[in-house]
Amino acid sequence: MLNYLLLVTLSLGSSTLFASPAAPEHCFTKHLSDATQLNTERRPLYEARSNGKSVPLSELLMASERIGLLTAAPLEALEWPLRADGINVLCEDLVPMSLTPAFPSTLTPPTEQSYDPAATESVHQDLLSAWHDGGYPQLLRTSEDWLRNLEGAGPYHCMVHHLLESVARAAALAPGQVERADVHGKGVLATAIIHAFIYEQIEFIQLGRHFDNMAAPLQAEGLPIICGDVPPISVPTT
């Protein structure tokens, strides 16, 4: 995918490739860096409240965010020609980590609601099939259907829920982003970047389910790990 993105960008000409704004935004890198910082700060808080049981999950979350930086930087670099025309796909798609709720001073009581690891088993394939069969509109509808399915899941499946919101937001914004890029002859580049970002979110759902499995026993005890560590993501209405 990144090789394809590079070829698309080069096809626009080297002058366009390096025609970045004076102060380019790095929203993807900032989002992941801020997430790592937040998890670093909250790691000892969760550790103290779980008698150390949260540490493996905290470490895995931070490791995944650092790995994510490897794909963030190339996408941001390839987006420069779009930013020169006032189009910033990644900044529009991502919600600032500053909107994450504050760490609670008191924990919620333990829940008796059980966790079903199979509840999100088909999310990954459902999203890929919807995208393949019906493009952005069907991907948006399927993402929102799944979000409604998880409404009664209690304190669980928070990482999958977060990724579904991210996919839904990107799918909702994508047609307008491509339309604006088309005006400048860069619709193909915008589409390639959007596809790479959405595909990454969908593929991460598989690992996200593993995070949710690890988090479930902690969440059952009232620990808001993952659930309280991500910002709410609004999905624009079309």
In angstroms, the CA 54 to CA 217 distance is 10
Q: What pLDDT, on the 0 to 100 scale, is given for residue 25?
A: 72
Q: What pLDDT, on the 0 to 100 scale, is given for residue 21?
A: 36
Q: What pLDDT, on the 0 to 100 scale, is given for residue 4?
A: 38
In this predicted structure, the answer to whether residue 1 has a pLDDT above a threshold of 80 is: no
In this predicted structure, the answer to whether residue 106 has a pLDDT above a threshold of 90 is: no
Q: What pLDDT, on the 0 to 100 scale, is given for residue 15?
A: 33
Nearest alpha-carbon partner for 194 in 59, 55, 91, 68: 91
Mean pLDDT of the region 47-57: 97
- Per residue in 171-191, pLDDT (tens digit) is 999 999 999 999 999 999 999
Task: Classify the C-alpha dihedral 222-226-231-234 as positive or negative.
Answer: negative
Query: Is 104:45 a contact under the CB 8 Å cutoff?
Result: no
In angstroms, the CA 35 to CA 18 distance is 29
In this predicted structure, the answer to whether residue 75 has a pLDDT above a threshold of 60 is: yes
Mean pLDDT of the region 140-166: 97
In angstroms, the CA 235 to CA 145 distance is 13
Q: Which residues fall within 8 angstroms of residue 170, CB to CB, at 6 or more apart?
A: 93, 194, 197, 198, 201
Q: What pLDDT, on the 0 to 100 scale, is given for residue 156?
A: 97
Q: What pLDDT, on the 0 to 100 scale, is given for residue 153?
A: 92
Q: What is the band of 48 on the pLDDT scale with cuts at 50, 70, 90?
A: very high
Least confident of 95-99, 106-110, 131-135: 106-110
Q: What pLDDT, on the 0 to 100 scale, is given for residue 11?
A: 38
Q: Hey, is 218 helix, strand or coil?
A: helix
DSSP-based helix, strand, coil % in the chain, nearest 5: 70, 0, 30
In angstroms, the CA 58 to CA 159 distance is 13
Q: What pLDDT, on the 0 to 100 scale, is given for residue 89?
A: 96
Q: What pLDDT, on the 0 to 100 scale, is given for residue 238?
A: 60
Q: What pLDDT, on the 0 to 100 scale, is given for residue 18?
A: 34
Most confident of 7-16, 73-82, 176-185, 229-238: 176-185
Q: What is the amino acid identity at position 6?
A: L
